[in-house]
Structure 1
Amino acid sequence: MSNQQFTGILAAVVTPFTADGSAIDTHGVKRQAEHIIGGGVHGLVPGGSTGEFGALTVSERKQTTELYVEAAAGRVPVVAGTGALSTADTVELSVHAEKAGADAVMIVPPFYDAPSFEELLAFYGDVSETIDIPIMYYNIPSATGVHLTPEQLAELGRKTRVTSYKDTGGDFAWFSAVKEQHAADITALNGWDTLTFAALASGAKAGVWGTASVIPRLCADLYEAVAVRGDLVSGRELWSKIFPICRFLESHNYACGIKTGVELVGVSAGPTRRPVLPLAPEHREELRTLLAAAGVETVTDQVAA
């Protein structure tokens, strides 16, 4: 697979749970995939922060990858989140994802004890030796403590199977430096919701976007307007509807916000796992109001257990 496959909007997807949160809801995965793909979104990214990967066992992470690959059925690419604290677990999950049919893997740097750049090169290098599909570097410094320079990120691209990176750092100047100065070594993908319009307008070819799990058609339409047609007037009109939703989601626990959103639009994915609590009723209604203002139909409350 070439870098070019990472085009369009790739939805960061939830991990649907049964009502008590104890197991993966297999039918729920199909509901999510049909909702998202049917809305025109260009790819699925299970097993990331939106998918609550830190609350899943290794076997559940493998199961989620398998279910989303099966649900996508070759219609759109699936990029499986496989990052873990140890190289061994990351390799195990990445090898499994390739065998399961994932088109690429997304790997967050080991978190809690931030590795040095030399350790990161070894970490991604070790994974690169075990798989033949591309790696998307998941840049989220607030969670990992890892702050790479644009030059280091480019070096990572040259020396490993990292072909792209999802930027969830929120520093648009840093993102632009990588995109403008190091495109030959690594492809920049936006991963910060409220910077989506700016990233697409500046020429980013793709984004990994949790909001696309809730309002896929609006997100796909934004990409078509801005990135494909270069129609900034239409893009701004769409963005005026989408931005308040993105702003809301960035102001709350993100996975919980997305799960609340998919429930409100009629494709419930069950609760988030503890310790994450449901949104307070007033915030839930605020999100409903924002969706309605964007022209999105919501359903009668069916609060997850």
Structure 2
Amino acid sequence: MTTTTPFDDELAVDFDAAAANVDYLLALPGCGGLYLGSVYQEFWTLTMAERIELMRVVADAAAGRVPLVAGVSSASVQDTIELVAVAESIGMDYLMIWPPIFGPRNDEGVLDFYRQVLRTTRLPTFVYSTRLPELGYFLDNVGIQILADEFDHLYGVKDGTGDLTEFLDRTDTFGDRLQIGTPFEEYWALSRAAYPTKAADFILGSSRACYMQTRTSPYLHQMTTFIRCDRHAEAFASLSRIRGLIRLQGESFARGVHPIALMKYAMSLTGHRGVAVRPPTPALSPGDQQRVQTLMAHARLLPQLRATSVTTGV
């Protein structure tokens, strides 16, 4: 599951809340690991010192209970190498490295960035491939193949394209050699059905599981359990219960706005600490806050809000 960065009223990182949130996340059904330093952690708004301290805080709070994926992405190859060294020193299990996130780039420049970083470590490493506009560079299959041929500790790819055809093609192309991860549960179900010997055995970097289920309404955990048992009709029935929230998430992506604020607000309603976002991350509008409340209540994620909505006629 992905993690977020809690900020206090002055938008300073709240490290105590970050530690508490580890317990919150690990108590969610089916949480098999934590991914920090992702887009949901707003890492581009953090100083290097804050990123390093967050890594330490999360590792200490997790205390070896689950595997940890350390996102070490940056525009600077030297900063990325420094974060890799910290990740190794505190016992992170995997690395996640995006292509460099800013500046003039071409295929060879990006590959050289990866080469310089991967030569400094032997930790199993994921690379990230997406067409999201905030990244501005698409790591294609040619680049992935080159890196896989050169580095045997390249462990997998997080496919964040949101393109089912592309994800399935990648699973077919690389699944014998790399773990091709997706954050979308329904994509994972279809990959396991289509390529049972090549599909990854896990969901990678899911944000939905953090706020579209609770311990008493474990929709995503139910879905993944059914998928593992090849009970696909029941799996998709579980997903249908949170369809409204999925649509709202999709609307945000369609507007070109990553739903970080939406996720943090929704999680805060069920006990996760930290709802504020740092500029330039867009805050969630009051209208979308109300929609989140209504949809979560409808899905029985917030029974007390559901009762209020019925009473007031909302």
Pairwise TM-score range, normalised by the shorter structure:
0.7 to 0.9
Give the aligned CA root-mean-square deviation in angstroms: 1.9
Of 208, 215, 234, the match for 1:211 = 208
Aligned twin of 1:250:
250
Q: Distance in 1 between matches of 2:130 and 2:187?
A: 19
Runs of 5+ consecutive residues of structure 1 not aligned to the other structure: 1-10, 301-305
Aligned twin of 2:255:
none
Aligned 1:80-99 pairs, distance under 5 A: 80-99=70-89
Say which is worse superposed, 259-268 or 139-148, in terms of deviation: 139-148
Q: Which amino acid counterpart does residue 285 of structure 1 have in structure 2?
A: Q
1:10-61 residue CA offsets vs partner (Å, 9 max, x unmatched): x111011122212x21221233211221113111111110000010001111
1:150/1:174 contact within 8 Å kept: no
Q: Secondary structure at the match of 1:141?
A: coil
Inter-CA distance 229–286: structure 2 relative to 1 (3 Å threshold): same
1:47/1:53 contact within 8 Å kept: yes
Indicate the percent of aligned positions where both proteins have the same amino acid. 24
1:156-199 residue CA offsets vs partner (Å, 9 max, x unmatched): 222133211111111221111110122233211003xxx42132
1:106-161 residue CA offsets vs partner (Å, 9 max, x unmatched): 11101233533322322222211212211111222223232233243233222133
Of 52, 55, 62, the match for 1:65 = 55
Inter-CA distance 149–277: structure 2 relative to 1 (3 Å threshold): closer
2:28/2:210 contact within 8 Å kept: no
Q: Distance in 2 between matches of 1:185 and 1:269?
A: 39
Q: Distance in 1 between matches of 2:86 and 2:236?
A: 41
Q: Which amino acid counterpart does residue 70 of structure 2 have in structure 1?
A: A
Aligned twin of 2:274:
269
Q: Distance in 2 between matches of 1:299 and 1:68?
A: 31
2:47 aligned with 1:36, yes or no?
Answer: no
Say which is worse superposed, 289-298 or 259-268, in terms of deviation: 289-298
Larger RCO, structures 1/2 (Cα 8 Å, 6+ apart): 1
1:78-109 residue CA offsets vs partner (Å, 9 max, x unmatched): 10110111111110111111112211111110
Q: Distance in 2 between matches of 1:296 and 1:71?
A: 26
Decide which structure has the larger Cα Rg and report it. Answer: 2
Q: If the length of structure 1 is used for normalisation, what is the TM-score?
A: 0.87
2:128/2:139 contact within 8 Å kept: no
Q: Distance in 1 between matches of 2:7 and 2:303?
A: 21
Aligned twin of 1:188:
180
Q: Which amino acid counterpart does residue 25 of structure 2 have in structure 1?
A: I
Q: Distance in 2 between matches of 1:15 and 1:298?
A: 27
Of 158, 161, 164, the match for 2:149 = 158
Q: Secondary structure at the match of 1:131?
A: coil
Q: Which amino acid counterpart does residue 46 of structure 2 have in structure 1?
A: L
Aligned 1:102-117 pairs, distance under 5 A: 102-113=92-103, 115-117=105-107
- Displacement, 1:262? 0.9
2:297 aligned with 1:297, yes or no?
Answer: no
Aligned twin of 2:164:
172
- Displacement, 1:277? 4.1
Q: If the length of structure 2 is used for normalisation, what is the TM-score?
A: 0.84
1:106/1:136 contact within 8 Å kept: yes
Aligned residues: 285
Runs of 5+ consecutive residues of structure 2 not aligned to the other structure: 193-198, 253-257, 306-314
